[in-house]
Amino acid sequence: MINQHEILQTIEMIDQQHLDVRTITMGISLRDCCHSDANTSCTKIYDKICRLAGNLVKTGEQISSEFGIPIVNKRISVTPISMIAESSDAESYVPFAKAMDKAAKEVGVDYIGGFSALVHKGYTVGDRKLINSIPEVLASTDVVCSSVNVGTTRAGINMDAVRDMGLIIRRTAELTNGFGCGKLVIFCNAVEDHPFMAGAFHGVGEPECEINVGVSGPGVVYEALKSCKGQPLDVVAETIKRTAFRITRVGQLVAQEASSRLGVPFGIVDLSLAPTPAIGDSVADILQQIGLTSVGAPGTTAALAMLNDAVKKGGVMASSNVGGLSGAFIPVSEDAGMIAAAKAGKLSIEKLEAMTCVCSVGLDMIAVPGDTSAETLSGIIADEAAIGMVNNKTTAVRIIPAIGKTVGDAIDFGGLFGSAPIMPVNTCSPAEMIARGGRIPAPLHSLKN
């Protein structure tokens, strides 16, 4: 039988160390919602989301109450809308996003992802219309999230798309004063089943409907590491593994419960250490607990590599199906330790870029000066996509040009999105390279060095 110490340890993790299930995300296929008439298609989308996700929020709340574990978000991901909308002759896909927004609000979820296009090798007619609609969508909806996949290890990088996304980010920033960019992710090697926003979408290889769960728990790892001060790093790694196991088991339990109560198959548990702006819920704090005076110090990448790997090793045994992004997240605005380091000038975009080589997911929630050019944004996207492409991993960029602001200012998103200090960007221009467009060919998979 469970002993007193174990019970109190669980309660302490939840009460004081911010252990929570970050999200239950229902993936819904919209492939049967295509129609030559855009209005009919939008109605089908709205009806299907409301029908399948009608009980999602209530079920999440019930599970949360019975197990005594907070479930912070309930979300929906859908088939990339470019694939659904392009059967219609609509020129703008804004109505499709509005149908998603309305359905998400009707069922009460926090966010809906999937206003997306996969263009790593090239555009279809629908992909182009979708991408052109993104700024207006993010300006005129509240809970719709958008993502675009511009590269894969097998296909290389679509540099036309990289160029276009620089412009789209700028236009979105101008229309939304920067805020809309927090709901837009540019991927390389996008995964089809992850539950986290803003990048979640329901891939075409996924079933009709499924439940994916994202766990969290940086605070729990941080507390556990206090017990191994001065110990060798293999002891640290072992401690992280054990802790990640416990965190993930909770995610697995919640996923199975949600799946059986909703009558929807269980997809995956995403083993991610997702921070929040709350004090004590920070990935940066874990790195500092390992022995860095600040995140960004030499050694940061090595510590993060170990953390990321140990989280996977511990988590993978705790769940029957692991997938999604699975790794430590390093969103600047959503992590109190990252915010502090960026504000103090101890953490640069270049160091963050190095960190993304060894962890999930990419340059995330980074605010840059409002006058950062589209070409520079494209250059940053290209660099990040190249890291993903060559290293056979998912990378992403969620970057926010803070209109009217510059280094030294901050932009406050509120809630889980937090607040981001404006970080300096290298001002040398990549304009000529970005203007070339075309494709970066897929990399060689042998002769690895």
Partner 1 sequence: MRAFVTVIGKDKVGIIAAVCNLLAEKKANVLDISQTILQENFTMIMLVDISACSVSFDEMSRLLSELGSSMELSIRIQREEIFNAMHRI
Rounded CA separation 411/178 (Å): 9
Q: 11 or 344, CB closer to partner 1?
A: 11
Q: 48 or 246, CB closer to partner 1?
A: 246
Q: 2 or 125, CB closer to partner 1?
A: 2
Q: 11 or 407, CB closer to partner 1?
A: 11
Instruction: Note the residues at the interface with partner 1 (CB under 8 A).
Output: 1-2, 4, 6-11, 62, 65-69, 246, 249-250, 252-253
- Rounded to the nearest whole angstrom, what is the least distance from the CB of residue 27 to partner 1 in the complex? 23
SS3 annotation, 194-245: CCCCCCCCCCCCCCCEEEEEEECCHHHHHHHHHHHCCCCHHHHHHHHHHHHH
- Rounded to the nearest whole angstrom, what is the least distance from the CB of residue 209 to partner 1 in the complex? 24
> How far are the Cα atoms of 7, 19, 260, 428, 448 from residue 365, in angstroms, in the given order?
36, 22, 35, 22, 32
Q: 144 or 253, CB closer to partner 1?
A: 253
Q: 220 or 366, CB closer to partner 1?
A: 220
- Rounded to the nearest whole angstrom, what is the least distance from the CB of residue 9 to partner 1 in the complex? 8
> How far are the Cα atoms of 102, 116, 129 from residue 137, in angstroms, in the given order?
13, 11, 12
SS3 state at 64: helix
Q: 103 or 247, CB closer to partner 1?
A: 247
Q: How far is CA 63 from the centre of its chain?
A: 24
List, as one string, the DSSP characters of 248-270: HHHHHHHHHHHHHHHT--EEEEE
Across the chain, which distance is largest between two alpha carbons, in Å?
Answer: 67
- Rounded to the nearest whole angstrom, what is the least distance from the CB of residue 424 to partner 1 in the complex? 43
Angle at 3 between CA 226 and CA 243, to 5 degrees: 35
- Rounded to the nearest whole angstrom, what is the least distance from the CB of residue 266 to partner 1 in the complex? 14
In total, the chain counts a number of residues equal to 449
Q: Give the alpha-carbon dihedral of 273, 243, 24, 202, to 10 degrees.
A: 60
Q: 57 or 390, CB closer to partner 1?
A: 57
- Rounded to the nearest whole angstrom, what is the least distance from the CB of residue 62 to partner 1 in the complex? 7
Q: 188 or 244, CB closer to partner 1?
A: 244
> Integer distance in angstroms from the first to the last C-alpha of the chain?
52
- Rounded to the nearest whole angstrom, what is the least distance from the CB of residue 344 to partner 1 in the complex? 36
SS3 state at 184: strand
- Rounded to the nearest whole angstrom, what is the least distance from the CB of residue 248 to partner 1 in the complex? 9
- Rounded to the nearest whole angstrom, what is the least distance from the CB of residue 6 to partner 1 in the complex? 4
Of 275, 282, 267, the C-alpha closest to 211 is: 267
E strand spans, 60-164: 71-78, 111-118, 144-152, 156-158
